[in-house]
Amino acid sequence: MTCIYCQKQFEPSKYRKTKQKACGDPACQKRRQRDNLSAWQERNPLYYRIKRMDPGWRAKARARAKRWRTRHKDRIQAYRQQTMEQYRIYMREYMRRYRAAAKTKGDRKVQESGV
Ligand SMILES: [Zn+2]
């Protein structure tokens, strides 16, 4: 069978012989998961919008995210370190655009703070 992502030949799993379209390569699996997720989101566009309106769900989701962040501080740290240069470039660009927009509006406070 031919992988729809990398076009390489692969041996499908015996359980998914007819349905498997992507090979087991981690990069292809990642793309497959992302594609599946966006296809699902297209089929269920209101799913999270409706969930977010429920205060109970929101409180739980917030608590879950906070728990994850406190448990995986090392991973957040590693990610931040890995992407620090990109983040700096992004922030520099962001602030440049922000100041330019503020300037056209005539907002002096933002310019003077010079972040
Ligand atoms: Zn592949």
pLDDT digits 0-9 by tens, 18-35: 889 999 999 999 999 999
Q: Which residue range(s) make up the domain with 62?
A: 24-71
Average predicted confidence (pLDDT) for the chain: 90
Q: Quickly list DSSP for 27-59.
A: HHHHHHHHHHHHHHHHH-TTHHHHHHT-HHHHH
Alpha-carbon distance of 74 to 41, in angstroms, equals 30
Gap from CA of 9 to ligand 1 centroid (Å): 8
Residue 28 lies in a domain: yes
Overall number of domains in the chain: 2
Gap from CA of 20 to ligand 1 centroid (Å): 11
- Statement: residue 112 has pLDDT above 60: no
The arithmetic mean of pLDDT across residues 3-27, rounded, is: 91
* pLDDT score recorded for residue 103: 86
Residue 112 lies in a domain: no
The arithmetic mean of pLDDT across residues 86-108, rounded, is: 88
The arithmetic mean of pLDDT across residues 50-75, rounded, is: 94
Gap from CA of 59 to ligand 1 centroid (Å): 39
Residue 92 lies in a domain: yes
With beta carbons less than 8 A apart as the criterion, state whether 98 and 110 touch.
yes
Provide the whole-model pTM. 0.48
Give me the helix-helix angle, 73-105 and 55-71, nearest 10°. Answer: 120
Q: Do both 62 and 79 map to the same domain?
A: no
Gap from CA of 82 to ligand 1 centroid (Å): 26
Q: pLDDT band for position 48 (50/70/90)? A: confident
Gap from CA of 15 to ligand 1 centroid (Å): 18
Residue 64 Ramachandran class (φ > 0 left, ψ -120 to 50 alpha, else beta): alpha
Q: Do both 78 and 97 map to the same domain?
A: yes
The arithmetic mean of pLDDT across residues 32-43, rounded, is: 95
Q: What share of the chain is helix, strand, coil (3-state, %, to 5)?
A: 70, 0, 30
**DSSP label at 22?**
S
